[in-house]
Amino acid sequence: MYKDAKYVKGLTKMSDRPTPLPEILLVGRSNVGKSSFINALLERKSLARTSNTPGKTLTLNYYEIDQRFYLVDAPGYGYARRSKSMKGEFVRMISGILRQSSDLVAVFHLIDFKVGPTEDDLEVHRDLLSSGLLVHTIATKTDKVPKTRRHAQKKSILKALGETSVLHTVSNVEKAGFEPIKQLIEEALERSVTDASPDHHD
Ligand SMILES: Nc1nc2c(ncn2[C@@H]2O[C@H](COP(=O)(O)OP(=O)(O)OP(=O)(O)O)[C@@H](O)[C@H]2O)c(=O)[nH]1
Ligand SMILES: [Mg+2]
């Protein structure tokens, strides 16, 4: 359980980033449940703003957790009504982060469990894997698939993602599946401490 979680700021350019702490970036299609995921993980009702009108903001929202790390809520990609140029801007922004942030310790790629990976999801998945970052794929909205079909759905998603992937599943509504996610976060934070060179210590 996290004790302290607060919204720090919304960034529109990388030069505005807050005091360095390890960062975990959330990426996923608009409406996949990134903001809801943050609220469910942190057990806060409405810390991260959720909406039914997706894909409007191109800001990176930083949430600071226990003065230890940031969860970064990225804008969603692949929103049908978003123009091609908006999509280009998203890609530039994300690749900017991937290039510039030495504090990025993991990326959580969220996909919709019921819908399965879309073309956009698969494209982003490949890009993330080839970035060399620690990437975890997490399917949201498991509550939308009947329990008896979940095993088959998981298998089908894994097949689409490729043999080597591991799929974590959550329901932000039922707040189910978050213990393994907390474990992933701890592992990513531990790795970042081990990896850091001496001059990165306080
Ligand atoms: N049933 C169900 N609905 C969910 C779940 N997670 C999110 N939702 C709903 O999906 C919609 C979008 O959720 P958001 O958390 O705003 O999605 P987002 O990825 O942050 O969207 P953008 O910020 O537009 O990119 C909201 O209506 C949520 O209530 C889930 O696990 N189960
Ligand atoms: Mg959101």
Arithmetic mean of pLDDT, 189-194: 81
* Span from the CA of 97 to the centroid of ligand 1 (angstroms): 23
Domains of the chain, by residue range, sit at 5-193
Mean pLDDT taken over the chain:
84
Q: Which residue has the higher pLDDT, 94 or 21?
A: 21
The predicted structure's pLDDT at residue 159: 94
Whether the predicted pLDDT of 37 surpasses 90: yes
| Model confidence band, residue 88 (pLDDT cutoffs 50, 70, 90) | low
The predicted structure's pLDDT at residue 19: 87
d(CA 13, CA 36): 24
5-193 folds as: Rossmann fold (3.40.50)
Chain centroid offset of residue 107 CA: 6
Ligand 1 atom at minimal distance to the Cα of residue 39: 15
Nearest residue (by CA) to ligand 1, atom 13, is 33
d(CA 22, CA 104): 6
Instruction: Provide the whole-model pTM.
Output: 0.89
